[in-house]
């Protein structure tokens, strides 16, 4: 039986936010956002809503009808939600996916905070990516957000994917180079890169033994390595990079910062980033 939460006080003024996904029970967003609301003493609550794809239109209509103040979107709704909205931010339009819904003068708009969240995370780690050559592993939605972010900092991008056609499609959108994610193809490009970003699910629990086929002997000793996977925080990729004494960036920073940007969209207040991070940091 769940323990009562003495900090949770709901009344007729409580504002509601949440996340839509299918599945969504694994989401860390409720813990992160509710910690943020408590930190600032806001009368808000954040819930997870498991919404099958065929019920997404009804869920968005419910947001409008009930006055829900903000929503996050995760798989499989990030693209399907677009025609249900009144408009998109430039980032969401360029990336072609939405992870945050917010109100602007009575209009329901879609934003994508993944791109700026990624940039904040790498800069927080001491990396200045502007003008660098970066290898992006993967060609899905996360890779597209990272490519958008880095392209706007004048990076040279190399997109590697197991399916070359998807790498080519993403590369064409951001004036990048495309290659297959094979040991041979990666060995050719790795000596030229300043940074590596894993946007695939390789290394994610429960398949923690999996990892992209990186030949570390050809990677520059000044390179940085970022893994967007955050379960576990120390993936096999990051462990191997750390063994080579490379700078590593785990997936927690992007998760926190994309959430902080959504929080600011909804509340108009600076996000309590450290409170959000503490809510997601494993404790001994």
The sign of the CA dihedral 114, 274, 232, 123 is positive
**Tokens read off for 70:** 């903000």
Q: At what angle do helices 252-267 and 29-40 cross, to 10 degrees?
A: 50
Alpha carbon distance 146, 263 (integer Å):
20
pTM exceeding 0.85: yes
CB 70 within 8 A of CB 102: yes
pLDDT at 284: 47
pLDDT at 78: 94
Q: pLDDT per residue over 224-257, tens digit each?
A: 999 999 999 999 999 999 999 999 999 999 999 9
CB 78 within 8 A of CB 48: no
Catalytic sites, residue numbers: 78
Q: What is the CATH number of domain 116-250?
A: 3.40.50.720
pLDDT at 281: 87
- Given a cut of 70, whether residue 186 has pLDDT beyond it is yes
Can you give the residue ranges of every domain in the chain? 15-112+254-280, 116-250
Domain 15-112+254-280 CATH (choose: 3.30.420.40, 3.40.50.300, 3.40.50.10860, 3.30.70.920): 3.40.50.10860
On the question of a common fold for 15-112+254-280 and 116-250, the answer reads yes
- Given a cut of 50, whether residue 66 has pLDDT beyond it is yes
């Amino acid at each position: 039986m769940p323990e009562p939460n003495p900090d949770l006080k709901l009344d007729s003024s409580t504002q509601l936010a949440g996340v839509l996904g299918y599945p969504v029970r694994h989401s860390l967003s409720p813990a992160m956002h509710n910690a943020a609301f408590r930190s600032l003493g806001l009368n808000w609550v954040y819930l997870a809503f498991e919404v099958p794809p065929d019920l997404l239109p009804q869920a968005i209509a419910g947001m409008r009808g009930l006055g829900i103040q903000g929503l996050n979107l995760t798989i499989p709704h990030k693209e399907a939600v677009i025609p249900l909205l009144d408009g998109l931010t430039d980032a969401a339009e360029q990336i072609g996916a939405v992870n945050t819904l917010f109100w602007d003068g009575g209009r329901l708009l879609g934003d994508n905070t993944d791109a700026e969240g990624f940039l904040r995370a790498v800069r927080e780690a001491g990396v200045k990516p502007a003008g660098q050559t970066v290898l992006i592993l993967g060609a899905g939605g996360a890779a597209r957000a990272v490519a958008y972010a880095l392209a706007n900092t004048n990076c040279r991008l190399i997109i590697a994917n197991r399916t070359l056609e998807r790498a080519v499609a993403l590369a064409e959108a951001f004036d990048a180079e495309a290659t297959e994610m094979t040991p041979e193809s990666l060995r050719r490009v790795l000596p030229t890169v300043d940074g590596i970003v894993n946007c695939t699910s390789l290394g994610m629990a429960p398949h923690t033994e999996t990892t992209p086929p990186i030949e570390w002997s050809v990677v520059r000793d000044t390179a940085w390595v970022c893994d967007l996977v955050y379960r576990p925080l120390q993936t096999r990729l990051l462990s191997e990079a750390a063994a080579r004494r490379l700078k590593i960036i785990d997936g927690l920073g992007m998760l926190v910062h994309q959430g902080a940007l959504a929080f600011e969209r909804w509340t108009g207040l600076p996000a309590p980033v450290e409170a959000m991070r503490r809510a997601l940091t494993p404790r001994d």
